[in-house]
Structure 1
């Protein structure tokens, strides 16, 4: 009897286990995906030893500070709309001391290709006109009382308002985690309000070093460079000369830069070399550099060109080294 009881117990245990194995198992719920956040804000600032824009100093080779604020709206994870405002300290011949940029556009992404299309406005408040008595240009146009009453010591002339806008398009192709290449295109109907159209095209490249290069320190490194060409049209009569009273054809030029950068959390230190192929004479005609030099008394100089008859030369377009320390944050990433 005892053996029968043990056998029945064993059969019950085996049968119960088999039935339990056949019962459906309730699956655990997967965690919900993170909520899609359409809004974000990028902002930051920096200090640089020289503010170089397309190979030409905007700060008379002196240090400059910069800051920006950029709200963004992500329509989808691959489509972003944005507007922004930024500012830089400058040193212009018309005595404008700040550049205020207002911009906006759209950034669509298609796989490894990222695009950026928009409009950029450059504003230079606080400027004054410098032309000199009697304030009449070579085409016979009177430039106004303020222009007539003020002159730069080296004979250059500059408008009060240099504000202008550009439309632009950029494309970046990300090869992998280390390599990325891009092209840029900017166009304006009146560069620096000179009356001369401008077209800037460049190619860019960037190499990001593996994250393990500095061990677990969190420091990153990259090398990047750009080669660009600036095409320019003919100015209005304000910048005309005796040979070209209705305006001068600015010289087209090439510009390039290469540098190395180090990143740590939200900080970036960028060390860069920049240069152009503009001569000192053509640079002077283009920039109206207030610091350019020549033998004004004798009206001769070593940098005479067809559009720069005074012969004074500018070093604003030459070789320059730039060190920039910046901080860049986004609200959704850095302020959570």
Structure 2
């Protein structure tokens, strides 16, 4: 009887040992990565240049943004300081879209709403200051909606090429359509440097808000940029970039309604001319913060 009891105890211990060992040695499962994330940042610029045209009257500007992400989906808002003829406190961009990543290909499809508030229509037809040009120079409201599609492809770990297409049915509230197409490329250099550039073309339609005899066809134009950047730990970036368009100073004035060209009577604007812009930006991502 004693022998049977001892044998049963040994057998039970042997059979239970692997299970106990497995329980002790089993690695803890890593927590699943959250599909949610938050990106946010800010930048200082010597000039806010938007597709070749200054939005800050060739002066310094500031921008900040925040973007919520869920897998491929995203939505965000950005604020830019401006100095425009309608005198808004700045530009507020509200946007949302989907950003699929398929191997080395990144796609981006979305909507952007440009909000300028509060605005005052810039006109000198009722009261014309001495030496100024008389006329109505802006719509009452320059807010507008734009749809876009972008693509970028990593040919090598260092070289990325891409393209983008943007369409606005009511560009800057003028009633004219705006279609912008761009090709771009970026090449990573050693020591976190990179060179990049883009060439784009804007096709702009005819205004419909100024009344019979005052509406006009907005000049199409070619835009290009090229620059060098340095990034520290994927967070801080210093960028020095040359921007240029093929618009003359008279064409630029007709496109922008530059208040200085109106008030001086010159009928010209340098907002679309050749310029070099320095930008210091900080970009953070919640999932990559070391102390979150």
Fold conserved (TM > 0.5)?
yes
Gaps of at least 5 residues in structure 2 are 1-17
For 2:187 and 2:134, locate their aligned partners in 1 and report how far apart those are by CA, in whole Å.
45
Aligned length: 267
Question: What's the counterpart of residue 165 of structure 2?
Answer: 185
1:230 to 166, 188, 202: 202
Any idea what SS the aligned residue of 1:119 has? strand
Question: What's the counterpart of residue 45 of structure 2?
Answer: 48
Any idea what SS the aligned residue of 2:260 has? coil
Matched, 1:100 2:92: yes
Q: Closer, same or farther in 2 for the Cα pair 1:36/1:259, shift >3 Å?
A: same
Q: Closer, same or farther in 2 for the Cα pair 1:181/1:31, shift >3 Å?
A: farther
1:254 to 210, 216, 222: 222
For 2:119 and 2:176, locate their aligned partners in 1 and report how far apart those are by CA, in whole Å.
20
2:175 to 195, 202, 207: 195
In 2, are the aligned partners of 1:120 and 1:167 still within 8 Å (CA)?
A: yes
Q: Closer, same or farther in 2 for the Cα pair 1:155/1:272, shift >3 Å?
A: farther
Question: What's the counterpart of residue 10 of structure 1?
Answer: none
1:59 to 56, 59, 64: 56
Matched, 1:160 2:140: yes
Give a deviation string over 1:185-236, Cα, whole Å, max 9, x none: 0001011001100000000100012xxx34xxxxx11111010000000001
Q: Closer, same or farther in 2 for the Cα pair 1:150/1:67, shift >3 Å?
A: farther
Question: What's the counterpart of residue 7 of structure 2?
Answer: none
Matched, 1:319 2:257: no
Any idea what SS the aligned residue of 2:261 has? coil
For 2:273 and 2:287, locate their aligned partners in 1 and report how far apart those are by CA, in whole Å.
41
Question: What's the counterpart of residue 241 of structure 2?
Answer: 272
TM-aligned CA deviation for residue 29 of structure 1: 5.1
For 1:295 and 1:327, locate their aligned partners in 2 and report how far apart those are by CA, in whole Å.
38
Gaps of at least 5 residues in structure 1 are 1-23, 75-79, 134-147, 215-219, 302-311
For 1:253 and 1:245, locate their aligned partners in 2 and report how far apart those are by CA, in whole Å.
23
Any idea what SS the aligned residue of 1:291 has? helix
Matched, 1:88 2:80: yes
TM-aligned CA deviation for residue 132 of structure 1: 3.3
For 2:134 and 2:158, locate their aligned partners in 1 and report how far apart those are by CA, in whole Å.
50
For 1:255 and 1:56, locate their aligned partners in 2 and report how far apart those are by CA, in whole Å.
9
For the pair shown, which has the larger CA radius of gyration, 1 or 2? 1
TM-aligned CA deviation for residue 160 of structure 1: 3.1
Q: Closer, same or farther in 2 for the Cα pair 1:92/1:295, shift >3 Å?
A: closer
Question: What's the counterpart of residue 153 of structure 2?
Answer: 173
